[in-house]
Amino acid sequence: MKHLDGKVVLLTGATGGIGQGIAEAFAAEGARLILTGRNQEKLQALANKLSALTDVLAVVTDVTDETQVQAAFRQAIERFQRLDILVNNAGVFDGGPLDELSLAAWEKVLAVNLRGPFLCTREALRIMKPQRSGRIINIGSISAQRVRPNSAPYSTSKHGLWGLTQVTALEGRAFGISCGCIQPGNTDVETLADAQRRSGEPVMKIADWVQTAVAMASLPPHVNLLEAIVLPVEQLYLGRG
């Protein structure tokens, strides 16, 4: 039996590198998927690819838009009648020196990385509480604990996501709902990884750590993995600051 056979999973940010990696890993383990993202063409292409493995629903969604988030969860319930797992993965990076940072950059990052998980978590809890079961997995960053210069919006948002994780776990446990956060280190995705490679920092492939999400999702319902820090052995973390 596959680890996630029959589980209904809603995943945000499914068309990005990490999101696609999670979607593919969950599909391989038998999960039924609701994939959300802003790019309709990429979203449908991924849904078509994974439909050979499992039941997939693609819903174009901007996680910063309350109405669109509510519609996505409504469509999920109409299709699958339940929700077992929410993965809050959608995220963006922007930054620069604090005294040069624009308000638009700050608000964009906080909206996607923090407002989005709040809106999705709220909708998930409204479904999971009556079920008296469910699991929420937040994809954070080690920037929640070890910050870099020129990363104020991103680091602040990931600190906030870790706080949201703990409150969700606390409020959910009486209803059989767990919540945990994966804090990945340097990951081989798009331009951020390019900068890390230029600086000589070690970088993980998504496949190196995505099974952590599968493991968290596969735990018995009475067990929670509150936090998982996953990073290259040689990445500066202890002593980083």
Q: Under a CB-based contact definition with an 8 Å cutoff, are residues 60 and 38 in contact? A: yes
pLDDT value of position 188: 79
- Please give the Cα distance from 182 to 228 (Å, whole number): 5
Residue 236 lies in a domain: no
Low-confidence ranges of the chain (pLDDT < 70): 190-199, 238-241
Total tally of structural domains belonging to the chain: 1
Catalytic hit among 93, 154, 162, 209? 154
Token reading at 172: 């959910």
Residue 34 lies in a domain: yes
Residue 161 lies in a domain: yes
pLDDT value of position 192: 55
Residue 235 lies in a domain: no
Q: Under a CB-based contact definition with an 8 Å cutoff, are residues 179 and 224 in contact? A: yes
Residue 71 lies in a domain: yes
Query: At residue 177, what are phi and psi to the nearest 5 degrees?
Result: -110, 130
pLDDT value of position 204: 86
237 is catalytic: no
Residue 3 lies in a domain: no
72: domain CATH number is 3.40.50.720
Residue 1 lies in a domain: no
Q: Under a CB-based contact definition with an 8 Å cutoff, are residues 136 and 84 in contact? A: no
Residue 166 lies in a domain: yes
Which of 45, 61, 31, 1 has the alpha carbon at shortest distance from 213? 31
Count of CB atoms situated within 10 Å of the CB of 98 = 12
